[in-house]
Amino acid sequence: MQRPFFAERGFDLAPFFEGTLNVEIAPWTFALAKPMHTYRQVRWTELHPPEDFSFSRCRVVHRSVTYVGWVYTPHPETKAAHFQPPTMLEIIAPWVAGVNYGDAVELWVPAEEIAITP
């Protein structure tokens, strides 16, 4: 539902699967450092107040295949209704063939965009 609102701002997510791949990194946590894109006050529904979103580059490797995508981060301070813990990265990527819940993946994120800490 949010895609058209990002496209209006020049960020086209059409090439990617319409859902997120949620990657649990516990016991590590993440924090935004300097994301590649940040969009503020995106009103994408009348059911919630406007939200802020950031996107950081990433790569996901599953079964020796590398997928280039984005870490999608709704800012918790503007998303009261639903938020992911700081141990969960939401990835927007092309369809990852054969991935299932509980599968291990290798994840690459640029340190200048996202800080990963123990």
- Categorize the per-residue pLDDT at 76 as very low, low, confident or very high, splitting at 50, 70 and 90: confident
How much is the pTM?
0.90
3-117 placed in CATH 2.60.40: no
State pLDDT tens for residues 21-58.
999 999 999 999 999 999 999 999 888 889 999 999 99
The residues spanned by each domain of the chain are: 3-117
Check pLDDT > 90 for residue 70: yes
Q: DSSP characters for 42-71?
A: E---SSS--EEEEEEEEEEEETTEEEEEEE
Residue 83 pLDDT class (50, 70, 90 cuts) = low
Determine contact, residues 35/54, Cβ cutoff 8 Å.
yes
Residue 2 burial class via C-beta count within 10 angstroms: exposed 0-12, middle 13-18, buried 19 and up: middle
Give the residue from 31, 107, 111 showing the smallest Cα distance to 73. Answer: 31
Provide the 3-class DSSP secondary structure of residue 92: strand
Has residue 80 got a pLDDT over 70? no
